[in-house]
Structure 1
Amino acid sequence: MSERVISGRKGGLITLGAADALWAELTTDSAVPAVSAALTWSPADARAGYVLLGARVVAASGGQRGVSEVEVRRAAAELNAVEVEGGDLVRIGPFRGAPAQEHMEGMPLRWRQRIARELQERGGPGWAARGDGGRLRHLAGIDWRRLLVERTDGHTRTWWLPRGVVRLLDAAEHAERQWLHAARAGRERAAVPEQPSRPGRARAAGGGGKTTSLEGPAAPPRSYTGELQGQLYSVLSRKPNMSRKVAGWACAVCRTAPAAVLDHCHEHGYVRAPVCHSCNTLERPDHLYSNDIRVADHYTHLFDTRVGDWLRHWHRCPGCRARTTLPLPHLAAWTAYIACRPLRPTHRDARGSRGRKPCGVLRVSWTGSHHAPRSCLLMVAVDFCPSGEHRVLARVPYREAAERFGSWLAETAPAVAAAAGPDRLDGLPTRSRPVIADTSGEGLALF
């Protein structure tokens, strides 16, 4: 490490070049690939007073004089702790309706827009891999191109990143936003001339007040404790500064990443909780059409791996809790994934192993609405059967699906089941709401 300073550092600072080398050395074995010039190559700019390393804001003391070695090491340790599952991907674009973001001068990350701009305007991943002048533009010290997955379905091209990386970049964007808010507040305080005051009042004003230090990390988001419970999304979403308030909470599902959007029940209209982009994407059903969804791999997380967390989250809606059920798209996915699992055929694994694998891809569609449960019918089918043998597996009436879910809920999450039902309509909206489905998966803003 040619530039690393071991002795004679003032205040524990090392030069930017030494910090680059230290960052590269410490993140060699990270599951998230890091770049070697994280502090000295675009878009990092130490003259702004900070640089982003992973999800951590590292202060740059005196412009370009140096950064804290301790902070670089902490950022590297946090990056090394991030787990990446290759099959757990989140779609990051392209979207016709890009997520609305608060405009703030000097906020350079905005990683979704940066990726979309590079891939759309400069010819896609193949062009990006060639670099610009020999060095790649990075995001918070991360080489995102090495993890990007591009899928083509007909004429539609989509881009995907592992969920762990999406959460990391969302956390970095949140940390930077908090930092810049604190910096702006500090400049505004400095611009206000001091008002003459009596000595006693001066001591009181300067003694016990909390100040925001620009040299320290931003305050972590606070835990969500049900402050928005029972409120209608149609009312709450119109309130000023709501997006900034949401960003102050930690995600109510994973409880690690900062929240970015308000998740709400599209059938009853109630806000569930603030969640991060990653959990919001995970929660959204994979709609093919407004009444037709594909039961993808992420339902393993929803109904198997972290079922208690998700059931508790969905039942934050008073309507779903009173009915002891789920919104129709989620109930349909549950019916296909859990209730009809024994009906799914299997085929011999084509790769030559002795085992068998489930046939094709599950899909569930429905006719009618949850407002007319007697006529609503769920149809579970198999798409992409290798031999073309299977189509419709089952036709399940809505009421039967809801009863099955209630029984399964009592066994799987008894605490959630105990807080639900019986079917009470007190306090629910008097006007019925149709099922509103995000048919394209493109709406990331306040879903």
Structure 2
Amino acid sequence: MRILMFSNDPEICVCHDDLPPGHTRLRHRDYVAELRRQTGIASKLAVLVSVPAGSNLQPQHEESGLSIIPIAAPHRLLAPLYSLLPALQGVKNFKPDLVTAQSPWESGPVAFLAAKLSRAKLLLQLHADIGTREWNQQSSAYRLRAIIAMIVCRGADKIRVVSENMKVRLAEEWRLSPEKFIVVPVPVSLPPPTELSRSSAKNTLLPGLADHPTVLFVGRLYPPKNIDLWVETAAAIARQLPETRFVIAGDGSEKEKLFALLERHHLREKTILTGHVSRDRLPDLYKCGDVFLLTSSHEAFGMVVVESLLSKTPVISTATGGPKEIISDGVTGRLISSGRAEDLAKAVLELLQDAKTREEMGTRGQIAMQQRYSAEIIREKLVTAWLQSAG
């Protein structure tokens, strides 16, 4: 089995002896190992990856069966054009059984051409909640991406999505057969947590929070996260439990809007804004929250939900997309279908004032996430999806 993959993640080009667990390079080595376990030692994975111009990276071929071919382009949007010739060479020399692309609106058209020329099957992968109202409102470029993705996906043999909800929505909106979709969630790549207790994590990372109930958010600050509702919910919580503190970790296009909302609701003094947090610090950051609050209007998957539960922090979320499949309502967190700030605040307050239930939910959540979203489980599912797509 030979698989030709188009990727936009330049981290896969990094190669040294101290790569952290979950690193992209290590994950793809593991994919090849699983592929060989299921099909035989001759199976190979070649990855054409977009990298910035001037990177001077050379192709890398490992004994593991993994090959990395960097494609340097002056701009990410030009990467498909620059990858055209290497793709044609890959088709000629590599002779793939399956072609797959991680970004249908960027590398998808070239992957489609490569699959047709090599008479290979085409598997396109969608991780983002593409085509939703919030997605399309971001810019005309986002609307164009959705159109390109829809056109290319219609020509694919299979489409990998990360949640059942995403499958149902796209099958209906794009008028595609549900049989065309394969659901494979995103693997957990969070580093192992330290031995810090919740109070110690608060004192170490965010001094002064140990004596305060704390509500946490981690994620990109952009329209689908519904920051307005998050701050409105926080304000309702603060009115009833004034000693509560709020931690928001992340960056994005709505950062200035967030500042304004916090000022308007008189929450600026009660809120810590950390900005972007490196992945090695995330496990302890999740411990800083007594409750994780997510108010998204759409979530393709919801990796932050999985990560929070892995850190034993229960999640209160709007009942949308991926979180509906990840959270067991009343068992590992709460799903609030109304989407009203008052109802979200009530659920958060109930947990903040009930340490025993918080601890039980967190423990159950950690066990469930380890059983459902470990790297080993998702790796086997993804490779099985590759083989199913290749026929």
Q: TM-score under structure 1 normalisation?
A: 0.26
- Greater relative contact order (CA < 8 Å, ≥ 6 in sequence): 2
Normalized per residue, which structure has more helix? Answer: 2
Q: TM-score under structure 2 normalisation?
A: 0.29
Q: Larger Rg: 1 or 2? A: 1
